Structure 1
């Protein structure tokens, strides 16, 4: 009997300890829940509701608990072990099954601090400390940008040393952060046509000028001045057909040979043909667009005195006249055409509206003036700089 009473006492004691430690266990679960939710809340003295706990505990009255454990009967009859009768606390078994509801309950009891705009939810969940916006820009200004600027200066010195003592053929082009007349920034870049290196570039902001249309000219003059200050000899400058740069080359840099990019001029001619009015005329001239663009490349190989005459000979070719009067150019450069090739070609009649529209484009005064700047056959330079700008300097505010 004594051994049986002892076993019963030990079993009852274990059950009682388990029930008494429910509160501590749930408090520990609450701490884990609050840590996962990002709220640093002290453990509650009262019974707390854990997060996503799928268990059930039966609520027992003090009399049922005393009867089931045998407290006051077998334990009180044992002389070697006396345990007071401890009234059991009623346990709330209405556990929360959704995190949202549990979050609302904890928020109602304990107010949480307002969220910071510089921190994300992951910062609260993992208790991570991260730099704010002010510190980020401070590091960028005081550490990152000076380091980049120093490294660029070192590289630029190496490039300038490599170009010393050479007659340079430089290509230049400007790129704005937005099209039209509302640009805020413009980057003008010079590239050496033989090595492909960038000896200098300039960033111009619109508030440095009276108008956004002048930013490219200022960038051109600033970069060219930096190159000349580095004692580099510039023989040829290749640009697009920018009006202000053309004038600056005549007035301020007449000692340098100013060339236009063949690719850029060919692309310009194609655009002018496509906008011929009325709309039906470009349809008739459209089959000749590849031949007209190729003719720009063809005549740019001729000497400067033959360029204009070679260019205007295109009017004879598109009207199926391959020998014609002229001073230096009297016939087309292609071999004689076969009868089959002549039949398949859609020739333009001399007095037709399509021929007259093409004549206006080909004999335009600006074209006849600019075609003379192709005698060095400088090509793809502006395009290469444009590809460089697209890859390195995308159209974003601040570039």
Structure 2
């Protein structure tokens, strides 16, 4: 095995990159590239086990430290491998609020949810809570406004109502959505403004509209 093949294969994996995208880059640059089969052989033989061992050791240290706290606040969010209903895999990552240390990671295949990608994030969350509740004194969980997760943490009817967990919503998601809406509204306003339309069906220009006399002036 060439040293360059090993280093390239290992670093593609450890940096979170995609082999085919990196290979395409090398192709455009007319540079030699380790083959895909060699990449996966190196990954299986030398990379996966050390990465798993490091993660287990690091997570154990984080859990031991958090066991000393009587008020643990966790932040969780899910990510699918592709948008919409065509997602095949979902990953849910949970971090601790104060230290920002990763506490738990769960991955789910759509085949584990009867090929229903809509409930993958819910399944990931359930597995996360079932794993962490016996280990930590969780008092608050912060997530996005996912309706299925909100239902699970409902203090009266949710699955985890007996644990007395406070459910808070991450305002970043709401702010991100609001900023997109504001930018879209402002762009619509610009389109009407350049056409000299101060008012339209759903809104009006943000500046004070000119009166008819001033509009006629150069």
Distance 2:60 2:189 in 1: 56
Match of 2:178 in 1: 269
- Relative to the length of structure 2, the TM-score reads 0.61
Find out whether 1:148 has 2:51 as its counterpart: yes
Q: 1:212 aligns with which of 117, 130, 144?
A: 117
Residues 198 and 353 of structure 1: CA distance in aligned 2, closer, same or farther (over 3 Å): same
Q: Which residue of 2 aligns with 1:233?
A: 137
Name the structure 1 match of 2:66: 163
**Contact 1:281 1:354 (C-alpha < 8 Å) held by counterparts:** no
Query: TM-score normalised to the size of structure 1?
Result: 0.35
1:216 positional shift: 0.9
Whether contact under 8 Å (1:173, 1:239) holds in the other structure is: yes
Deviations 1:341-376 (A, max 9, x none): xxxxxxxxxxx9539xxxxxxxxxxxxxxxxxxxxx
Q: How many residues align?
A: 155
Q: CA deviation at 1:186?
A: 1.2
Q: What SS class does the counterpart of residue 165 from structure 1 fall into?
A: coil
Secondary structure of 2:153's counterpart equals: helix
SS in structure 2 of the partner of residue 144 of structure 1: helix
1:252 aligns with 2:159: yes
Q: Cα distance, 1:267 vs. partner?
A: 2.4
Query: What is the Cα deviation at residue 270 of structure 1?
Result: 3.7
Against the structure 1 CA distance between its residues 241 and 281, is the aligned structure 2 distance closer, same or farther, given a 3 Å change threshold?
farther
Query: CA 1:132–1:190 in 2, change beyond 3 Å: closer, same or farther?
Result: closer
Return closer, same or farther for 1:266/1:144 CA change in 2, 3 Å cut-off: closer
| Bigger CA radius of gyration | 1
Structure 2 vs 1, CA of residues 140 and 353 (structure 1 numbering), >3 Å: closer, same or farther? Answer: closer
> After superposition, what is the alpha-carbon deviation per residue over 1:196-221, rounded to whole angstroms, capped at 9, x for unaligned?
10110111111111311111111111
Question: In the alignment, what sits opposite 2:104?
Answer: 200
Shift of 1:281: 10
Find the counterpart in structure 1 of residue 91 from structure 2.
Answer: 187
- Cα deviations by residue, 1:69-105 (Å, 9 ceiling, x for unpaired): xxxxxxxxxxxxxxxxxxxxxxxxxxxxxxxxxxxxx
Q: Take 2:63 and 2:192, find their aligned partners in 1: how far apart are those partners?
A: 51
1:324 aligned partner: none
Runs of 5+ consecutive residues of structure 2 not aligned to the other structure: 1-33, 194-200, 205-218
Whether the 8 Å CA contact 1:274–1:282 is kept in 2: the answer is no
| d(CA) in 2 for partners of 1:242, 1:206 | 18
Pairwise CA distance, 1:142: 4.4
Tell me if the contact between 1:275 and 1:282 (Cα under 8 Å) persists in the aligned partners: no
Shift in Å at residue 141 of structure 1? 2.7
Deviation at 1:133, TM superposition (A): 6.8
When you count strand as a share of all residues, which structure comes out higher? 2
1:367-378 matched pairs, under 5 angstroms: none
**The residue matched to 1:226 in structure 2 has which SS?**
helix
Kept in 2, the 8 Å contact 1:165–1:233? The answer is no
Structure 1: runs of 5 or more not aligned: 1-130, 285-351, 356-399
Using the TM superposition, give the Cα deviation of residue 258 of structure 1 relative to its aligned residue in structure 2, in angstroms: 0.4
Whether 1:354 aligns to 2:203 is: yes
Q: Alignment partner of 1:222: what SS?
A: helix
Separation of aligned partners in 1, 2:35 and 2:122: 40
Deviation at 1:162, TM superposition (A): 1.0
Whether the 8 Å contact between 1:188 and 1:202 is mirrored in structure 2 is yes
**Aligned-partner Cα distance in 2 for 1:259–1:208:** 28
